[in-house]
Amino acid sequence: MQTALRTSLPETELASRASFAPHARVAREERQEERRVQTTGLPLSIRGLRKSFGDNEVLRGIDLHIPAGQFVAIVGKSGCGKSTLLRLIAGLEKIDAGSIGFGQDVQPEDIRVMFQEPRLLPWARVLANVEVGLGRDRASKDAHARAEKALTEVGLADKRDQWPSVLSGGQKQRVALGRALVSRPRVLAFDEPLGALDALTRISMQRLLERVWRDQGFTAILVTHDVSEAVALADRVLVIEEGRIAHDVVVSAARPRQRGSAELAGLEGSILSHLLSADDRT
Amino acid sequence: MSLIDSISLPRSVRLPRLDGLVQWIVPLAIIAIWQVACVTGFVPTRVLPAPSDVALAGWKLLLSGELVRNIWVSFWRASIGFLIGGSIGFAFGLANGLSQLSAKLTDTTLQMVRNVPHLALIPLVILWFGIDESAKLFLVALGVFFPIYLNTLHGIRTVDPQLIEMGRIYGMTDGELFRRVIFPGALPSIFVGIRFALGIMWLTLIVAETIAASSGLGYMAMQAREFMLIDVVVLSILIYALLGKLADSASRVLERLTLSWHPAFQKR
Ligand SMILES: Nc1ncnc2c1ncn2[C@@H]1O[C@H](COP(=O)(O)OP(=O)(O)OP(=O)(O)O)[C@@H](O)[C@H]1O
Ligand SMILES: [Mg+2]
């Protein structure tokens, strides 16, 4: 679906140029090296994964290895099974065949998902909504403190006592991010988390995602319709076609990345042409 | 209603102290016009006694203790009947909202029973229970049961499935899921049921007390009719109106307290 794909926005470039001063860049690059060494993320191995809904064969054998701490983006045309793959990884659907392994036993708190809708409890204050993310640790004594810390990380400490209904769409999504982060997950799966946001909010959320990923070192899997978002954030972009991974594109550009740079634009163009040619064939 | 008021009135025009009084202007005006109409002989007092006569009748009954006793009896019947019917309705609503099996087992039957107007059962109920307390309680409970049942069921069925999935992802147990997601989500709908049920509660009680009782407000009105005491008849009707309003206000206060998260109830 051509219409569903976005190309890079001119304001993206301006915004990102303004944000990175040269000295900050050096510091961040050092931090990135550090993160590679001591990542808290889990590796992910998927073998021969299949999933059907009735006669509809959605995933027809996915083989994939994601190293610990990698940021992977998944793109593909609407209905190709991106959400299904994510839901299988998060354990929300039953696997028909194949396997998904994390290299060790995982706790439910280790894997978190964030959706396009914030899914906040309207009858709980912002802080209580973040506490939900603690899972079985909800009742622990430091629950409050941990939730407040997560809320500070997403920049909403001052909204802790508000009802979700008074927040803007972007703020709600940040609360949802805080809730996903509060248990210090080792794998974080995003299903178009920024899909419903306007262009500017989307850019600031992309920066926030990248920042928390760098700080916490979880393995990130991002499903998105926006190819420019995929190449700007991910170490690697997977294109799903006909239930399989059709392309596996490495984005080697150094971070922090220059939005709309020739390198990213080239990658984006080639991924888009993959998607469009698949669309023409069907 | 509060929502529409607060939207349509600009903030500067709202006078908080007058706000509470405004709603009483129309009832007071009606009483004043009524009084004038009676005193000037425009309305014959055989048709409608003047408010002052009604008040006087009320005062006499109050002194004799009859009024308080009858109000108390009616109030007691209404509350107990409401509690019994309401809790059974709530329990069935929960069971059928949460369990497919329970819904399959009982929902069709309940829907059939619902189509029988419960006041049509009065002759049968009198045969069963005579005119003692259980007859009135039974009728009130039956009347209250359905609005509470239906709205609890509807509330639970319409809780956002995405929120339930979210609760499961974040490891809520069944109990927690109910307490933190399903019940709060169903609460607005349950309140709709409660307000419907309160209306039905008074209606049922009036009818039941008028037909088969030896005490209570409805009985007081019937007695007065036999002795042609029209002021007492009008008094009983006014008291019913007041009690109905009181019950409605109580449920509104409760609603405000428990649904303070709801955009419609937020103070600004
Ligand atoms: N619970 C379900 N029951 C039946 N079919 C389903 C279910 N979930 C997904 N599908 C089907 O599986 C296919 C893939 O759906 P999925 O949601 O994974 O697509 P997607 O790639 O995320 O699409 P989009 O980009 O539009 O979100 C679709 O054809 C959809 O109809
Ligand atoms: Mg999807």
Residue B241: the pLDDT is 86
Is the beta carbon of A195 within 6 A of some atom in ligand 1?
no
How far does the centroid of ligand 2 lie from the alpha carbon of residue A85, in Å? 9
Q: Within a domain: residue A141?
A: yes
Grade residue B172 by pLDDT with cuts at 50, 70 and 90. very high
Is the beta carbon of A80 within 6 A of some atom in ligand 1?
yes
Other CB atoms within a 10 A radius of the CB of residue A95 amount to: 16
- Under an 8 A CB cutoff, do A163 and B261 touch? yes
- CATH 1.10.3720.10 for the B54-259 domain, yes or no: yes
Give whole-number Cα distances, B175 to A126, B148, B172, B182, B183, in Å: 22, 22, 8, 10, 10
* Domain edge (last residue) among A150, A184, A218: A184
Both A123 and A258 in a single domain?
no
Grade residue B214 by pLDDT with cuts at 50, 70 and 90. confident
Name the token pair of A182. 């509060």
Distance between CA atoms of residues B207 and B77, nearest Å? 13
Both A159 and A90 in a single domain?
no
* Domain extent for A75: 2-106+186-281
CA-nearest residue to A165 within chain B is B263
- Under an 8 A CB cutoff, do A117 and B162 touch? yes
pLDDT in tens, B52-88: 999 999 999 999 999 999 999 999 999 999 999 999 9
Taking the CA of residue A240 as reference, the ligand 1 atom at the shortest distance is 21
Structural contact between residues B132 and B77, judged by C-beta atoms closer than 8 angstroms: no
* Domain edge (last residue) among A166, A184, A202: A184
> Does the beta carbon of A121 lie under 8 angstroms from any beta carbon of chain B?
yes
A104 torsion bin: left (phi>0), alpha (psi -120 to 50), beta (else): beta
Distance between CA atoms of residues B96 and B143, nearest Å? 19
Residue A104: the pLDDT is 86
> Exposed, middle or buried, B257 (CB in 10 Å: 0-12/13-18/19+)?
exposed
Q: Within a domain: residue A113?
A: no
The DSSP code for A99 is E
Both A101 and A143 in a single domain?
no
Taking the CA of residue A86 as reference, the ligand 1 atom at the shortest distance is 18
| H-helix segments, B15-160 | 16-39, 51-64, 66-98, 100-114, 122-129, 133-157
Tell me if residue A236 falls in helix, strand or coil: strand
Name the token pair of A95. 């696997």
The ligand minimizing its distance to the Cα of A87 is 1
Both A210 and A90 in a single domain?
yes
Say how far residue B14 (Cα) sits from the centre of its chain. Answer: 30
Distance between CA atoms of residues B254 and B232, nearest Å? 33
Residue B16: the pLDDT is 56
Residue B87: the pLDDT is 97
How far does the centroid of ligand 1 lie from the alpha carbon of residue A80, in Å? 7
Amino acid at B14: R
Residue ranges of domains in chain B: 54-259
Residue A19: the pLDDT is 37
> Best interface-test mutation with A: which of B160, B166, B261 has the largest number of A CBs within 10 A?
B166
- Under an 8 A CB cutoff, do A122 and B261 touch? yes
Both A82 and A213 in a single domain?
yes
Provide the domain count of chain A.
2
Residue B130: the pLDDT is 83
Q: Within a domain: residue A114?
A: no
Both A19 and A43 in a single domain?
yes
> Does the beta carbon of B104 lie under 8 angstroms from any beta carbon of chain A?
no
Give the strand order in the sheet containing A97-101. A56-66, A44-53, A97-101
User: Picking from A19-23, B39-43, B165-169, which range would have the lowest pLDDT averaged per residue?
Assistant: A19-23
Asked if pLDDT for residue B205 goes beyond 60, the answer is yes
Residue A176: the pLDDT is 97
Q: What percent of chain B has pLDDT over 90?
A: 58
ipTM above 0.85? no
- Under an 8 A CB cutoff, do A90 and B169 touch? yes
**What CATH number does residue A54 fall under?**
3.40.50.300
Both A245 and A127 in a single domain?
no
Grade residue B17 by pLDDT with cuts at 50, 70 and 90. low
pLDDT in tens, B104-157: 999 999 989 888 899 998 889 889 988 788 999 999 999 999 999 999 999 999
- Under an 8 A CB cutoff, do B163 and A109 touch? no
Grade residue B11 by pLDDT with cuts at 50, 70 and 90. very low
> Across the 282 residues of chain A, what is the mean pLDDT of every consecutive 10-residue run?
37 36 44 54 95 95 95 94 95 94 89 95 96 88 93 94 94 96 95 91 93 94 94 95 93 86 92 85 68
Both A232 and A97 in a single domain?
yes
* Domain edge (last residue) among A184, A203, A224: A184
Q: Within a domain: residue A250?
A: yes
Chain B, residues 120-179, CB within 8 A of chain A, namely 162-163, 165-167, 169-172
- Under an 8 A CB cutoff, do B170 and A123 touch? no
Both A124 and A262 in a single domain?
no
Grade residue B265 by pLDDT with cuts at 50, 70 and 90. confident
Higher pLDDT, A135 or B180: B180
Both A156 and A194 in a single domain?
no
Residue B129: the pLDDT is 87
Distance between CA atoms of residues A114 and A180, nearest Å? 7
**CB-nearest partner of A136 from B166, B171, B262:** B171
> Does the beta carbon of B188 lie under 8 angstroms from any beta carbon of chain A?
no
Asked if pLDDT for residue B10 goes beyond 50, the answer is no
pTM given for the model: 0.81
Q: Within a domain: residue A235?
A: yes
Both A204 and A217 in a single domain?
yes
Residue A279: the pLDDT is 75
Both A66 and A159 in a single domain?
no
pLDDT in tens, A200-238: 999 999 999 999 999 999 999 999 999 999 999 999 999
